[in-house]
Structure 1
Amino acid sequence: MNTEPGWDLYRSFLAVLEEGSLSGAARRLGLTQPTMARHLDALEGAIGAQLFLRTQRGLAPTEAALELRPYARALAATSAALLRTASARAGEVRGTVRLTASDVVGAEHLPPILARLRADHPGLVIELVLSNTVENVLERAADIAVRMVEPTQDALLAQRLPPLRVGLHAHRRYLARKGLPTSLEDLAGHDLIGFDRETPAIRAALQLFPMLARGAYALRTDSDLAQLAAIRAGFGIGICQQAIARRDPDLVPVLAEAFGLDLPVWIVMHEDLKASARYRAVFDALVEGLRAVVAGPSAAP
């Protein structure tokens, strides 16, 4: 390699890798298809390896491309973090903060917290990424994360909150139609809502509640938001956070004494950001707001 490739070449490479075609990558970046082709040719020439093979389905990445993928993604995350960091002057609670949370937390709990935060700090811009996967805060794929698992990475500032309790719930319409089960064994005669694919967390829960295995469900989906929507629609009985059910008088707890799980809640960010006023403001607002969610409506600010 005689010259170091510029960031534009890696950005184009990553776009082609994720879109699977020059045309899709060009649309994503707002460039022309010939420009994308030139960028790929230049990067292949710089590293001395072919990155894509043309197939009937588009561009297929070579082994060399797959090896470069994590580094290109890290470059993209760093570039985006650099722009966010530069979006405000030191000491100001303004600029962009990228936040990630699970689907349910992001859709059900964060909006009022972020609304209050924006009212207090009109110069803040929030990028909210909803995903049940763990975004890499250490590599700045997100600035701050709300996690349901304990962080294991070093160099993170982490605040543990009281857990979110989950239990079985159903809409009043469903219970009026099918009746209220009196034991876990009675669930076999009900329409249950649950997962499609097992995860390590689900496998751990099934050791305690084997009657809730995949075959028991009348509706299977890995989307927590879809499960919640089905419960609210009266489809059947499913797992719901107590903090969410408390806000809806039509959602009724089912077998509360027999079934319940605690979801750990952590707020984390890179320790290098703790001296920044805007990141600290968002971090503290999340801690305060989610503590109130767990405590109940009477404690909400």
Structure 2
Amino acid sequence: MSAPTWDHYRSFLSVLQTGSLSAAARRLGLTQPTLARHVEQLEQALGGARLFTRSPQGLAPTDLALRLKPHAETMAAAAAAAERATEGEAGAMTGTVRISASDVIGAEVLPALLRELRARQPGLTFEIVLSNTTSDLLRREADIAIRMIRPTQSALVAKRVGTVELGFHAHPDYLARHGTPDTLDDLTAHTIIGFDRDSSATRGFETTGVTFDRARFAYRIDNQIAQLSAIRAACGIGICQTALGRRPPRLTHLFAEAFAVPLETWVTMHEDLRQDPRLRLTFDHLCETMAAYCADS
């Protein structure tokens, strides 16, 4: 047969993600026989190697399928980016902009920033990727990313907009019931909110002199939005961005002089996208408004 097309790989990736032909077909709006034929044709193009085996849980990917997965994901990201690029009229402020940001920035900060921009440019549509992993702009997984680490890829346009400061915070109700710790050592007598299995959020804290021991946490959760919610609900003492701590319900910032972690904040995009008016406008807007947010930290 001829070389496999994107349709073949898209069907393959959908089966890989859903674990069944029927679910994959529903996701793509195809009939099950059509989708099964795509997978079979891809297998034939690969020399007859099997991509899936049947298991009690559904279709299990073979080793070959797992090796193909990142390449199919790259193709999917490129196809989505191409679709976004064709939206709207040339030079017009219309179409979709896909933005990647951490859970907390995406949930707590971005909505207000993008509300202002869309009020001025109602033709823009925003897709937000909430992830604490660094989206690969080179693979077009997102058009613009807000990162807390300095990008290293030379093909990216990156602007440092400031630093976001982290610190220990607690709700006044918690402190009224349990007392206010005067020093970091006093935390041993308090309920601490921290990570469960993912300690990556504590990277960069080495210079603070504070040891983050999972065994010390009485409230463990890896999602940083949920951690912030727990602090706001007076469940205990935890770490959050100081600018968010000043929002209602206002939290008490503890040990401001003894413990502070500044995170460099960057707005980035692929250099090839700089000529797209809607992407450049969004990039400049995010640089300006994120700089203002950092200044408030």
Give the TM interval when normalised to the shorter protein.
over 0.9
Aligned to 1:70: 70
Aligned AA (1:12): S
1:206 CA displacement: 5.1
Label 1:132 to 1:203 Cα distance change in 2 as closer, same or farther (>3 A).
closer
Cα distance in 2 for partners of 1:212, 1:64 equals 40
Asked if the contact 1:81–1:140 (Cα under 8 Å) also holds between the matched residues in 2, the reply is yes
Counterpart of 1:129 in 2: which secondary structure?
Answer: strand
Asked if the contact 1:206–1:212 (Cα under 8 Å) also holds between the matched residues in 2, the reply is no
Report 1:16-31 matches (<5 A): 16-31=15-30
Aligned to 2:243: 243
Cα distance in 1 for partners of 2:278, 2:119 equals 14
Asked if the contact 1:150–1:264 (Cα under 8 Å) also holds between the matched residues in 2, the reply is yes
Output one character per residue of 1:218-273: Cα deviation in whole Å (capped at 9) or x when no partner.
10111000000000000010001011112236301111111110111111100001
TM-score, normalising length: structure 1: 0.94
1:59 CA displacement: 1.0
Aligned-pair identity in percent equals: 53
Aligned to 2:41: 42
Cα distance in 2 for partners of 1:70, 1:198 equals 23
Label 1:78 to 1:203 Cα distance change in 2 as closer, same or farther (>3 A).
closer
Aligned to 1:261: 261
Aligned to 2:228: 228
Aligned AA (2:180): L
Aligned to 2:147: 147
1:198 CA displacement: 4.1
1:289 CA displacement: 0.9
When structure 1 is superposed on structure 2, of 59-68 and 204-213 the one drifting more is 204-213
Cα distance in 2 for partners of 1:225, 1:109 equals 12
Cα distance in 1 for partners of 2:250, 2:283 equals 33
Asked if the contact 1:184–1:211 (Cα under 8 Å) also holds between the matched residues in 2, the reply is no
> Do residues 219 (structure 1) and 215 (structure 2) align?
no
Report 1:22-171 matches (<5 A): 22-48=21-47, 49-171=49-171
1:64 CA displacement: 1.3
When structure 1 is superposed on structure 2, of 194-203 and 69-78 the one drifting more is 194-203
When structure 1 is superposed on structure 2, of 102-111 and 25-34 the one drifting more is 25-34
CA root-mean-square deviation: 1.5
Asked if the contact 2:232–2:249 (Cα under 8 Å) also holds between the matched residues in 1, the reply is no
Asked if the contact 1:155–1:271 (Cα under 8 Å) also holds between the matched residues in 2, the reply is yes
Aligned AA (2:229): A
Cα distance in 2 for partners of 1:109, 1:76 equals 28
TM-score, normalising length: structure 2: 0.96
When structure 1 is superposed on structure 2, of 32-41 and 130-139 the one drifting more is 32-41
Label 1:163 to 1:121 Cα distance change in 2 as closer, same or farther (>3 A).
same
Cα distance in 2 for partners of 1:166, 1:208 equals 11
When structure 1 is superposed on structure 2, of 139-148 and 29-38 the one drifting more is 29-38
When structure 1 is superposed on structure 2, of 210-219 and 92-101 the one drifting more is 210-219
Asked if the contact 1:206–1:213 (Cα under 8 Å) also holds between the matched residues in 2, the reply is no
When structure 1 is superposed on structure 2, of 50-59 and 228-237 the one drifting more is 50-59
In the alignment, structure 1 segments of 5+ residues that lack a partner are none
In the alignment, structure 2 segments of 5+ residues that lack a partner are none
Structure 1's consecutive aligned runs of 4 or more residues displaced over 6 angstroms after TM superposition are: none
Aligned length: 296
1:132 CA displacement: 0.6
Cα distance in 2 for partners of 1:207, 1:165 equals 14
Cα distance in 2 for partners of 1:209, 1:15 equals 47
Aligned to 1:272: 272
Aligned AA (1:246): R
Aligned to 1:3: 2
Counterpart of 1:153 in 2: which secondary structure?
Answer: coil
Asked if the contact 1:185–1:211 (Cα under 8 Å) also holds between the matched residues in 2, the reply is no
Cα distance in 2 for partners of 1:201, 1:23 equals 38
When structure 1 is superposed on structure 2, of 110-119 and 200-209 the one drifting more is 200-209
